[in-house]
Amino acid sequence: MSDSLRLEKIDDFRWRIPAGYKPGMRVPGIIYADERLLRDIREDKALEQVANVAFLPGIVNASFAMPDIHWGYGFPIGGVAATDPEKGGVISPAGVGFDINCGVRMLRTDLAYDDIKDKLNNLVDALFSGIPSGVGSKGDIRVSIKEEEEILVKGSRWAVEKGFGIQDDLDCTEENGAMQGADPGAVSDRAYQRGRAQSGTLGSGNHFLEIQVIDQLYDAKACNALDLNLGQITLMIHSGSRGLGYQICEDYTRSMVQCLNKYDIKIPDRQLACAPVDSSEGMAYLSAMKCAANYAWANRQCLMHLTRNIFERVFNSSWQKLGMSLIYDVAHNIAKIERNMVSGENRVLCVHRKGATRAIPAGHPDLPQKYMKIGQPVIIPGDMGRNSYLLAADKNAGETFFSCCHGAGRLKSRSAALHTINADTLLKELESQGIIIKASGRSTIVEEAPEAYKNVNDVVRVVHNAGIARRVCRMRPLGVIKG
């Protein structure tokens, strides 16, 4: 990071990069962090990327960074930026990321720890063998070209229509599991090929399926509304749009470089290649991105269906009797056209969330009725050796265009983790904590080690104290399936 970057402290949880830091910045950068997290954030170039995003035409208010921020492609991971299409606002594939709608869903169950402890090994083995994971993994849910086009338009509803879920699952999914306006014609043949055999697959890297137990309650009203109690078993599923989404991002990132000259866009980093939202190039990307987002929601719906089936076999009971209902599903990497108040004016903006999750508070018209009084559930996974959290969007979420952090945030790169962490030592440490890990390779376990991530407890403390999202409950891991 440049030595000339001096952050201005706004309060204990917010810091400002002045708009004058670099000539050409249209707005300041705002970073949500405390002093402890800020020391880690300064270790890479993420803050420079926050400043670079502030160059985007039409950007509104600020270039925001969540406390899990770390260096990414063009945008920092943990970055949020809204642009105004009526004022030349742009859309940038880098503001969404390669794994379009990488996201997480959380399920509750009626099981308690005592119900599961003697079956945990068998359950983890069954999940690992029954849910395809790893690089290039292929699933049993195979589709024709026509069916794949249906998935890109219908999203989770396609899976529910096939018997892989129920209507309540759609009600508890962001956008009801499908963004309107997806155009399969905007997706390349190569992207179709990469996605055709990957429905119902977990993928690799930081994607996971985790069995958890609630070990701390914070918000009695929200816990009562969600029927959550101490010692209760929950699950998280973290996956995305797999090869299809990656290929769409690659295709459009390459083509949008040509837009910089065409639309006379000046940016300090070509990785921020973009086009006006209402241009032909911008609309084509948005339509293709929606296809990938819908594919990801369908994928997580299929993964939940497989998980429910495995629980049914292990416990010899229906998933309904086991109480395996969906709490919520949120996207982490997405751009959406949303209404926001800006200087007292209701404006339509293009909100980029890269490594950030939507967080709309109680009373917002886009909430399902069941969450109208408590706010949208916000799911924050930690790492496989520490805690994860369920939060609810709070009163100050509008400051960040209704956005919150999405996880702990990397502290070490994958290559650094491989060079500094011993796999055998790590596995023994996790075993001593009663955590069972299954992965397709030892390198994945090392890359995803707890010490490769910031402490999620620190990250959540910041967004809680900043009033973006309040803590509802905390979970600790029991069994983890990794790609």
What CATH number belongs to 8-92+104-482? Answer: 3.90.1860.10
Q: How many CB atoms lie within 10 A of CB 263?
A: 17
pLDDT over threshold 60, residue 166: yes
pLDDT for 198 beyond 70: no
Please name the residues in contact with 65: beta carbons below 8 A apart, sequence gap of 6 or more: 29, 30, 31, 32, 33, 41, 46, 47, 50, 76, 78, 79, 80
Residue 133 has a pLDDT of 63
8 A C-beta contact, residue 75 and residue 84: no
In which residue are the tokens 């599991």 written? 177
Tokens of 288: 């293709």
Higher pLDDT, residue 137 or 349: 349
Handedness of CA 344, 346, 352, 358 (dihedral sign): positive
- Among 12-16, 191-195, 204-208, the least confident range: 204-208
Distance, CA of 278 to CA of 88 (rounded, Å)? 8
Q: At 475, is the secondary structure helix, strand, or coil?
A: strand
pLDDT given at position 135: 43
pLDDT of residue 203: 67
Phi, psi of 323 (to 5 degrees): 70, 30
Least confident range from 133-147, 256-270, 355-369: namely: 133-147
Average pLDDT over residues 361-377: 95
> Which residues are CB-contacts of 280 (< 8 A; sequence separation ≥ 6)?
none
What is the average pLDDT score of the chain? Answer: 93
**Average pLDDT, integer, range 265-282:** 97
Given a cut of 90, is residue 335 above it in pLDDT?
yes
Q: pTM of the prediction?
A: 0.94
Locus of tokens 């290649």 = 273
CB 366 within 8 A of CB 176: no
**Residue 175: what residue type?**
E
Q: How far apart are CA 355 and CA 246, in angstroms?
A: 15
Convert the pLDDT of each residue in 17-32 to its tens digit. Answer: 999 999 999 999 999 9
**Pairwise pLDDT comparison (197 vs 354), residue with the higher score:** 354
Looking up tokens 């910089």, which residue turns up? 260
pLDDT at 2 exceeding the cut of 60 = no
Token look-up 């945008």 returns: 75
Mean pLDDT of 333-355: 96
Alpha carbon 29 to its chain's center = 21
What's the token pair of residue 340? 């926001």
pLDDT at 195 over 90: no
Q: What is the DSSP letter of 173?
A: B
Q: Which two tokens stand for residue 208?
A: 């996971």
Judged by DSSP in three states, 23 sits in: coil
**Who wins on pLDDT, 222 or 142?**
222
Q: Is the pLDDT of residue 136 over 50?
A: no
Question: Over 50: is that where the pLDDT of 81 sits?
Answer: yes
Please state the rounded mean pLDDT for residues 271-300.
Answer: 97
For the purposes of burial, counting CB atoms within 10 Å of the CB of 414, is it exposed (0-12), middle (13-18) or buried (19 or more)? middle
Res. 315 pLDDT band, cuts 50 70 90: very high
Segment 119-140 mean pLDDT: 78
Range with the poorest average pLDDT among 20-29, 151-160, 204-213 = 204-213
Q: Tell me how crowded residue 449 is: count the other CB atoms within 10 A of its CB.
A: 23
User: Rounded distance, CA 210 to CA 127, Å?
Assistant: 10
Does 406 participate in catalysis according to the annotation? yes
Q: How far apart are CA 350 and CA 338, in angstroms?
A: 6
Going through 59-207 in order, the beta strands assigned E by DSSP cover 63-70, 77-83, 90-91, 103-112
Asked if 298 and 199 count as a contact pair (C-beta separation under 8 A), the reply is yes
pLDDT above 90 for 232: yes
| Residue 425 CB coordination number (10 Å) | 11
Neighbours of 231 (CB within 10 A): 12
Per-residue confidence (pLDDT) for residue 196, from 0 to 100: 72
Sequence ranges of the domains in the chain: 8-92+104-482
pLDDT band at 147 (very low <50, low <70, confident <90, very high): confident
Tell me the per-residue pLDDT of 410-461, one tens digit each, with 9 for 90 and over: 888 888 899 899 888 998 999 899 999 998 778 888 988 888 899 999 999 9
Catalytic position from the list 305, 352, 406, 419? 406
Span 386-418, pLDDT tens digits: 999 999 999 999 999 999 999 999 888 888 899
